Amino acid sequence: MASEMWSEKYRKIGFNQIIGNESARKAFYNWIKNWREGDKAVLLVGQAGTGKNTTIYAVAQELGYRVIELNASDTRTKEKLTKKLGSSLYTISLLGEKRLVLFDEVDGIYGRDDYGGTEYINELLEKPPVPIVLTANDENNENVIKLERKTIKISFQKVPLRMIIMYLKHIVELENKKVDSKLLGEVARKSRGDVRAAINLLQSMIDAPNTIKSIDVLKDAVVSKQDALMALVNEENPEMAYEKISKVDFNSRDKLYLLFYSILASDLDKSKRITALRAIADIDIFETRIESTQEWRMLRWFDRIVVNKFYNRSFKQRIRYHEEEPLWELKIKYWTELRLFKSIKEKVNQRYHISNSEFVLYYLPCLISLAKKDREKTLHYLQYLGFNDNFISLIDKRAKT
Amino acid sequence: MIEIVEGEWFRLPHLGTDNFKTLMSLGLKYDKAKGMLIDSETNKNLLITFLTQVLKDDVQIYKKCAICEARIDCRTCEYSSDCDFLKASENCLCSKCLEREESYAYYIMNSETF
């Protein structure tokens, strides 16, 4: 059976057991302890792994609050938010249970300006009936800056590396493992102040001693992007390709971009390009899910999946290293289509109360498939619904291909 | 040399209204009786630059050991190249306390008092 993730296991700790950000934690504790109906909401800002959510849950536990958590980047429309929160905002439970509403990662919801979600949160912030806590990773996000006026901002900073080492030592002792203290130092260095990342890396090292054996391997991140890509496309042995791509010191998202731009710039015929881009799309879905669920430990499979998707494929040897952004003509094409989608976004949101992603994922393919079956009726129907000519001709073009 | 310890109140010579406003805009906390305090909202990088210019003297910000409360000079720390200490939270550990057995237990004991 797979062992529990340590970053989750050691998240369920008491308020005083959290490391770093002492004054920020104290400020949050005092805010919730003295909270009265109508008091301003609080906005906790800080990069991932600085202890925002751990603090919220620990304080809630200590002061007897039940946390109603809404991940803002998943639940975005007013309808969905209302449904999820239900009447719990305005009623006191039979058992007299205190409630706290947590909008996690509000930079997500505010960045997407989906129908009604933003206004709904803004209404709640006017006169909160229960303590409302918002969290955000990016303090420079324009919308987070706007939120600062309506909330009390508490900043969570990176945790100093020595403090992370102290905590890793403690975990190693609890897990009854033996790890060299220099190695703990290297793990802390890699984490750059992100406690969760440090714990995940520590566990990966202990769980998978064959992939990361020692401090030297951690330091051995000198394979260039070009070498890694060449290994991926030329190397016959998948293990060797994995060796190289896993030693490039840049993150999974950058690896995806590198592959994407290289595929776009390579001389592939249409069907091979489609297959290659589909492979990228699959990897992208995996990576995005890790980001949205914050199951960072799954990232240890990322390089394996990349190698697997490209191993033994006929197109791979035609891929050429290209790190720049796509060619101008291609950019123009994407930009024009994106603009078109944006222009219909509001109409779709307002009229049908669905989010952008729902429209693109479910409705758009249906429209194209309907147009394939009965072109005239579908286009006529789209006209009747009020979509503009550009959009209709795009659907028509897609249906023909 | 102006020495400031994070988490401890400090006083500066009178710098005039405009400079005081700038200091406040950099996120310093002010209390008439206690003086000034760096907290999590303070932009420490800009604060050092500003004070160095205004006071025409070197400014050094120290962290405090969360266990023994000793001053820590981050410039001499072996992790300074990766720690981004001006953006890290106020307390750290001195090298002696880091080496201590049960350092985490001591940290928790001290945290209970804050």
A3-35 tens-digit pLDDT: 677 888 888 888 889 999 999 999 999 999 999
Predicted confidence band at A370 (pLDDT cuts at 50, 70, 90)? Answer: confident
Nearest to A29, CA basis, from A72, A77, A69, A65: A65
A185 chain-B contacts, CB cut-off 8 A: 78-79
pLDDT over 50 at B34, yes or no? yes
**What pLDDT shows up at residue A345?**
65
Question: pLDDT band at A210, cuts 50/70/90?
Answer: very low
Are A386 and A347 in contact by the 8 Å Cβ rule? The answer is: yes
Contact partners, residue A348, CB within 8 Å, separation at least 6 = A354, A356, A359, A363
What pLDDT was estimated at residue A209? 56
Distance from CA of A338 to the nearest CA of B (A): 37
Q: Report the DSSP pairing between strands B71-72 and B59-65.
A: antiparallel
**Nearest in space to B69 (alpha carbons), one of B93, B85, B87:** B93
Hey, of A151, A161, A181, which one would you mutate to test binding to chain B, going by the most B CBs within 10 A of its CB?
A: A161
Answer whether residue A124 shows pLDDT above 80.
Answer: yes
- Total length of chain A: 401
Longest dimension (CA), chain B: 49
Query: Residue A216's pLDDT is what?
Result: 45
Range in A5-14, A21-30, A122-131, A327-336 the model is least confident about: A327-336
Nearest CB to B41 within list A155, A161, A165:
A155
Candidate from A23, A167, A170 with C-beta closest to B40: A23
Neighbour tally for A9: CB within 10 Å:
15
- Tell me the pLDDT tens digit for each residue of B58-88: 999 999 999 999 999 999 999 998 898 899 9
Give backbone dihedrals phi and psi of A156, rounded to 5 degrees, phi first.
-105, 125
| Cross-strand pairs, B92 | B65
Q: Which residues of B touch A22 (CB under 8 A)?
A: 7, 66, 89-91, 111, 114
CA distances to A265, A322, A328 from A256, rounded to whole Å, are 14, 12, 20
What confidence score (pLDDT) does residue B64 get? 94
The better pLDDT of the pair A274, A156 is held by A156
Contacts of B29 in chain A (CB under 8 A): none
- Among A288, A304, A298, which residue's Cα sits nearest to residue A207? A298
Place of tokens 């109906």: A37
What percent of chain A has a predicted confidence (pLDDT) above 70? 77
